[in-house]
Amino acid sequence: MTNKELFEALRMFEKEKDIPMDYMLQQIEKAIVIACKNYYGGNENVVFNIVPEKNIFDVKLVKTVVDEVLDPDFEITREDAEKINKRKIYSIGDEAQIPLDPKKLGRIAVSAARNVIRQGIRAGEKGQTLIEFQSKLGEIVTAQVERIDPKSGIATIKIGKAEAMLPKSEQVGCEELKEGDHIKVYIADVKDNERGPHAIISRTHPGFVKRMFEQQVPEIFDGIVEIKSISREAGSRTKMAVSSNNPDVDAIGACIGAKGARVNSIVEELGGEKIDIIEYSDEPEKYISAALSPASVCKVEIVDEETKSCKATVPDGQLSLAIGNKGQNARLAARLTGWRIDIRPESGFYGEDEEDETETAEE
């Protein structure tokens, strides 16, 4: 391979793999130094002159000028040095740079050099993958479904030039993904272990809904409307508390949009998942009352501020609505507010078994 071919290959590699040429040249230099050390009895004193713009790649091994050579791997006579560099007069003890042809290195040395380059490529790809994932941490990305395991339902997702796994547990509801689908996923975390960097992706994470609203609602993106808290049971229901930093802007209205356009586009992306948007309040009583919507709340009584426990009284006819199907509404309200909520009917009548007629919701 000529120098020109080498640099053309490196430029192509940089374009396809996103691994900088400078990094690959460093790996090649490292490999040549190791090869020289193995082939020249431990001599790793190598000088490089590399100019990619001019396709220059020169390698020289440094030896000491002596009267009599005792170790040819480290020494060279003055006569031989001056034959190589005819423009220079050497003195005993000088260092002479001997042009080196890497192709003439021994088979073992070349094999070792190849291994170093391969390891460098793998490390470079790993580093680029890690950088790509980290740059998207906490964000939504559009990715393509490459394949789906028919047994586990795990989807292999292509994100840029990297792959990630979307477990069935991180897919929304009963959605059926197909190979070739373009879907939105949330980069929840990035891990790096002995198997390399990988992204933890999700469509069930509360952050997925938050980022969707940031994309759809300019007032949130601009900081006028703030998302204070989100609780979610993916595929079924989400509760989101919002507040406005501008008295002229209705936080809930901004999130819903004209004729529900903004929230409906998010509901559609989530496969019909219901979204309750409530007004955040610094007053726990008001906040907890709003969190239990769509049920009406007669009053909220704070039982213990330290443990964040309270009693919420609702009209008798709204007890089931406040609790929700299998306790979902109460459970989401508790997660949203951070309060342990004991829901009781207004009449105070619980029937024969009080425990069967009340619901305590915890985070």
Q: Are residues 96 and 14 in the same domain?
A: yes
CATH number, position 62: 3.30.1480.10
CATH number, position 330: 3.30.300.20
* Mean pLDDT, rounded, of the chain: 85
Boundary (domain end) residue, out of 103, 129, 155: 129
* Helices 284-291/328-337 angle, 10° precision: 150
Boundary (domain end) residue, out of 129, 156, 178: 129
Q: Are residues 224 and 274 in the same domain?
A: yes
pLDDT tens digit string along 95-148? 999 888 766 664 554 565 566 666 766 666 666 666 777 778 888 988 899 999
pLDDT tens digit string along 255-290? 999 999 999 999 998 888 999 999 999 999 999 999
Owning domain of residue 20:
3-129
Q: Are residues 151 and 51 in the same domain?
A: no
Alpha carbon distances (Å) from 290 to 51, 84, 129, 241: 68, 88, 44, 9
Residue 189 or residue 351, greater confidence: 189
Any domain includes 17: yes
Residue 345, number of CB atoms within 10 A of its CB: 20
pLDDT tens digit string along 177-221? 889 999 999 998 888 766 667 788 999 999 999 999 999 999 999
Q: What is the pLDDT of residue 115?
A: 66
Q: Are residues 41 and 119 in the same domain?
A: yes
Q: Are residues 109 and 211 in the same domain?
A: no
pTM of the model: 0.63
Q: Are residues 95 and 154 in the same domain?
A: no
Q: Are residues 86 and 119 in the same domain?
A: yes
Q: Are residues 183 and 231 in the same domain?
A: no
Q: Are residues 276 and 298 in the same domain?
A: no
Considering its fold, how many domains does the chain have in total?
A: 4
Any domain includes 246: yes
Over range 50-67, report the average pLDDT: 89
Least confident residue range of 69-83, 86-100, 119-133, 314-328: 119-133
If you compute the radius of gyration of the chain from its CA atoms, what whole number of angstroms results?
Answer: 34
Q: Name residue 160's amino acid.
A: G
Which residue blocks in the chain are alpha helix, DSSP H?
3-17, 21-39, 78-84, 107-135, 206-216, 218-221, 251-256, 261-269, 284-291, 319-323, 328-337, 354-357
Res 352 pLDDT > 50: no
Any domain includes 135: no
pLDDT tens digit string along 147-170? 999 888 899 988 877 788 899 889
Q: Are residues 42 and 122 in the same domain?
A: yes
Any domain includes 334: yes
Res 323 pLDDT > 60: yes
Residue 56 pLDDT class (50, 70, 90 cuts): confident
Angle, vertex CA 206, rays to CA 189 and CA 271, nearest 5: 115
Q: Strand, helix or coil at 243? A: strand
Q: Are residues 229 and 314 in the same domain?
A: no
Over range 46-75, report the average pLDDT: 90
Any domain includes 212: yes
Boundary (domain end) residue, out of 129, 149, 169: 129
Q: What is the pLDDT of residue 96?
A: 92
Q: Are residues 121 and 36 in the same domain?
A: yes
Q: What is the pLDDT of residue 354?
A: 40
